[in-house]
Structure formats: structure tokens, C-alpha cells
């Protein structure tokens, strides 16, 4: 792999420059091409602005909260100012807490850990595993999985019915995605929040795919909590956020026990220790925090805000419409959807191609066209299996995932884009799909460690 500044010209139409825009990758058919990163839903490339901000701060890095030196004080101010910047970006209310975590998954596991005993959790089967799985880790919490709705209104009706029928009537939590990581479709968060609150329940929003693509206001949506990851919001370094109501967070034992979470520790006469825990966000941030990760998220939030979400959303909608129009010209392509073609969506779309295993198709896009997409079940296995229930796949084809006994091999292709995507990458993708379907792959492929890869000559 080589890097050339010449390739940067391909991203001039992108409103916010990202790292990797000038990376050239080899093609199996010969030559090199600038890499078309169309896998934003998995990890978005970091904004150049974020990288520059972090690099400028790096020489001033110091310990946080407990250092008397100048760099420690500067780093502490940076860390806490980042918290305030993110709270403003999310539209947090007075009294809401912003807790720094490692990721969306970590954020939702934190929330699962602080639920009051006996809480009933309601979650649609359509969720990403990060928001589908954490709740059953608690033996004293009951989880109800709701079937995939086929319209936004059906989602609201299904939730209202489940909440109305719950027994006993106690604490309840609804977990819902803001935008599907499989279909890109927007969910009716405000209406689901109203239904939850009408039945005495709270709601947490998985905004991993919503926050990078769409304005997010926790107060306007009337969500109790929101969770997202920095690495999907154009910020690297493995940090995430859980933001929202403070009471359940304050009332629960710390997510991790250790320094930073403790306010006072003293020995008892019986030889044990008494601990007084913080009541602020620090209660669940034990250990030395990821200062650079927090600052990177704050920098990304500022960059998106300054660029103007109206402009960014309008451009992204034009690009995803271009993708959909191009795919619609290929009868062999079926786009996956819960709510139908007219449903609003972010820049995420999944599809299957008749006569192709999705892993084989994705491998050809990469090896022959320099296009990076995702194939598989996208950590949303129940949803993708529901959407592909009637779609046959050839289990013997290159890269076909192993199926359980009695099941067919199922997988799909996902294309996702964002603020750093140039128009040329979208056009190249559409052309590549059309050409592969019409003419087939120009190279032979084989299965290696469960993946479809180009075969050696």
C-alpha cells in the first residue's frame, strides 16, 4: 500500500476532509486506485480536523484530575470541557450526565449494570447486538424481545401493547436504535419515547448510526439516555458516551471499582474498608480516563456543528439517492428494508445480488475496483435473518459463511458513506455493481479462514 497526495483530488467534493483520502490500493487486475471507503457504518475514517486537534494537544498530555502540575491542570480542563461540548452537541438537559466509556457497547452495558432490580427491558429484535444483548447479563432483569415491525407505526403500536401488558408494573426500560445499522432507516424515536413515558417506562437511544449522520437532540426526542461511539463519529481512539438522566446512575454501585470513582476510602476497625463514591459522572469512570479519546469526540462534534448538519444531511441524502437509483437499474439487486422504499434513512444501505454470495461480491468490489464495503450479518443477526428469510444463498460458493444444521447460509452486502465520501466513490461503486452483475468477476477467488479472497495466479 502506498500513499500519494495526488489522490487527494478525488475528495475535493467532500465537505470535511478525512484521513485515508489519499491512500492508493493495488488491484488484482493491475495498477492502483484511490481507496473508496464505503464502510462508514463499521468505523468512519477520522476527520483531518480531529487528527490535527489531537496532534496539537499531544505534547501537553498529562494526568487528569489529580495532578498539581500545569499539564495535568490543562489536561483536566480539556477533558471536562470536552464533556461540556458533547453535552451541548447532544442537547442535554440540566442535570443530565455525560459519562465517558469505551464504545456504544460499553455504554449500554454500563446502563444495564445500573438498572434497578426487577426492571423490565423491552427491545426489538432488529437491534444491533450492542443494544440487544447486554440486558440478559443481569439475573434480576427480565427482557422482552419484540418482533420486527414493518412500519414505524407498527413499532409504536407493538411497544405500547407490550408495555400495557407488563406485569408486575415496576421500573421498565425501552431500548431502540435511532438509525438501523443494516437498512439505514430512521426509527420513530420521539413517538416511541412518548409511548414509553405514557406507560411509566424510560427509553435509551442507540445513536451509533444516528449521531454521525443526523442532528441529535436528546431533549427534543425526550429520550432518557443516548449512547454512541467516537469511532463512528469520525473520531478514533476507542471512546464512547452514555449521556442522560443521572438518578439511576447515581443510585447504582459503580460500573468499575477503583480510583477516580471513589471520593473517600477509610479503614474500619474490623479490618475492612468504607467507600464513599462520587455522585457525578466520575462514579462510573474509574481508572485513568481516555483523555485523547474524549477530546477527539468533542473535536468531531465541533467540526460537524460548524459545518452545519443541514448541509451535511442534504449532501448525504443526495449521495444515498444516487446509490439507490443506480442499484434500481440492476434487476438482480434486492435492497433490504423494514419500512419500505420511501422510508427516510441515513447513508447506510444493505442488499443482496441474485446469483452471488455476498462475500464473493464484496471481495470482487475490493480486489477489482478498490472499494471497501461490509458483508455478513452486521452484528444484527436476528434482523438480517428476518430480512433474508426467503433469499437463497449457495452454501458452496466462495466465502459463504457456515450455516447451522437445517439453515441456509445467509449474508448481505452493506454500503455506507458519510461526510468524507466523494461523489466519484459513489459513482465507481454503482458502476462496479452493474459491471459485476453483467459481466461477472474478472478474477478467481477462494475461501481462506472463512473469507473470500483473490486466488493466486
Active site residues: 379
Q: What gap in Å lies between CA 410 and CA 182, rounded to an integer?
A: 14
Sequence-distant contacts of 115-118: CB under 8 A, at least 24 apart: 115/141, 115/171, 115/173, 115/248, 115/252, 116/170, 116/171, 116/248, 116/251, 117/141, 118/142, 118/168, 118/170, 118/171
Q: What are phi and psi of 142, to 5 degrees?
A: -105, 135
Name the DSSP class of 133: S
Rama region for 366: left / alpha / beta (φ>0; ψ in -120 to 50; rest): alpha
Q: Residue 28 in contact with residue 443, Cβ under 8 Å?
A: yes
Cβ-based neighbour number of residue 264 at 10 Å: 9
Q: Is the peptide bond before 451 cis (omega within 30 degrees of 0)?
A: no
Q: What gap in Å lies between CA 289 and CA 299, rounded to an integer?
A: 17
Nearest to 197 by CA among 160, 240, 154, 167: 160
Q: What is the dihedral of CA 442, 446, 452, 453, to 10 degrees?
A: -70
Q: What is the Cα 362 distance to its own chain's centre? A: 21
Nearest to 229 by CA among 106, 377, 378, 52: 106
Amino acid at each position: 500500500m502506498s500513499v500519494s497526495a495526488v489522490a487527494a483530488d478525488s475528495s475535493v467534493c467532500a465537505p470535511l476532509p478525512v484521513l485515508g483520502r489519499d491512500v492508493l490500493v493495488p488491484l488484482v487486475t493491475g495498477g492502483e486506485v484511490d481507496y473508496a471507503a464505503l464502510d462508514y457504518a463499521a468505523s468512519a475514517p477520522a476527520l483531518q480536523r480531529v487528527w490535527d486537534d489531537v496532534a496539537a494537544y499531544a505534547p501537553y498530555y498529562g494526568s487528569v484530575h489529580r495532578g498539581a502540575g500545569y499539564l495535568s491542570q490543562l489536561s483536566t480542563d480539556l477533558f471536562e470541557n470536552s464533556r461540556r461540548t458533547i453535552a451541548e452537541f447532544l442537547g442535554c438537559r440540566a442535570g443530565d450526565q455525560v459519562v465517558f466509556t469505551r464504545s456504544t457497547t460499553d455504554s449500554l452495558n454500563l446502563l444495564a449494570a445500573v438498572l434497578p432490580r426487577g426492571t423490565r427491558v423491552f427491545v426489538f429484535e432488529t437491534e444491533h447486538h450492542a443494544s440487544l444483548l447486554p440486558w440478559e447479563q443481569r439475573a434480576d432483569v427480565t427482557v422482552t424481545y419484540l418482533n420486527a415491525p414493518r412500519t414505524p407505526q407498527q413499532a409504536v403500536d407493538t411497544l405500547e401493547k407490550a408495555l400495557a401488558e407488563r406485569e408486575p408494573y415496576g421500573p421498565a426500560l425501552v431500548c431502540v436504535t435511532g438509525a438501523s445499522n443494516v437498512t439505514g432507516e430512521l426509527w420513530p424515536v420521539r413517538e416511541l419515547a412518548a409511548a414509553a413515558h405514557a406507560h411509566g417506562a424510560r427509553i435509551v437511544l442507540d445513536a451509533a448510526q444516528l449521531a454521525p449522520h443526523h442532528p441529535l437532540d436528546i431533549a427534543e426526542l425526550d429520550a432518557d439516555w443516548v449512547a454512541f461511539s467516537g469511532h463512528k463519529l469520525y473520531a478514533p481512539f476507542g471512546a464512547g458516551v452514555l449521556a442522560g438522566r443521572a438518578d439511576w446512575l447515581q443510585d447504582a454501585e459503580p460500573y468499575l471499582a477503583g480510583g477516580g470513582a471513589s471520593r473517600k476510602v477509610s479503614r474500619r476497625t474490623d479490618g475492612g474498608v468504607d467507600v464513599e463514591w462520587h455522585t457525578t459522572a466520575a462514579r462510573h469512570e474509574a481508572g485513568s480516563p481516555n483523555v485523547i479519546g474524549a477530546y477527539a469526540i468533542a473535536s468531531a462534534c465541533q467540526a460537524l456543528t460548524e459545518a452545519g448538519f443541514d448541509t451535511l444531511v442534504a449532501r448525504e441524502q443526495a449521495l444515498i439517492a444516487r446509490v439507490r437509483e443506480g442499484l434500481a437499474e440492476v434487476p438482480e439487486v434486492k435492497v433490504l428494508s423494514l419500512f419500505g422504499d420511501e422510508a427516510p434513512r441515513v447513508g447506510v444501505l444493505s442488499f443482496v445480488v441474485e446469483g452471488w454470495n455476498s462475500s464473493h461480491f464484496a471481495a470482487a468490489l475490493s480486489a477489482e475496483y478498490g472499494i471497501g464495503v461490509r458483508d455478513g450479518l452486521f452484528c444484527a443477526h436476528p434482523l438480517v435473518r428476518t430480512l433474508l428469510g426467503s433469499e437463497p444463498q449457495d452454501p458452496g460458493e466462495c466465502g459463504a459463511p457456515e450455516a447451522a444444521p437445517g439453515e441456509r447460509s445467509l449474508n448481505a452486502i452493506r454500503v455506507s458513506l458519510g461526510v468524507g465520501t466523494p461523489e466519484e466513490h459513489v459513482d465507481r461503486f454503482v458502476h462496479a455493481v452493474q459491471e459485476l452483475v453483467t459481466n461477472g468477476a474478472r478474477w478467481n477467488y477462494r475461501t481462506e479462514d472463512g473469507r473470500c479472497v483473490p486466488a493466486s495466479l
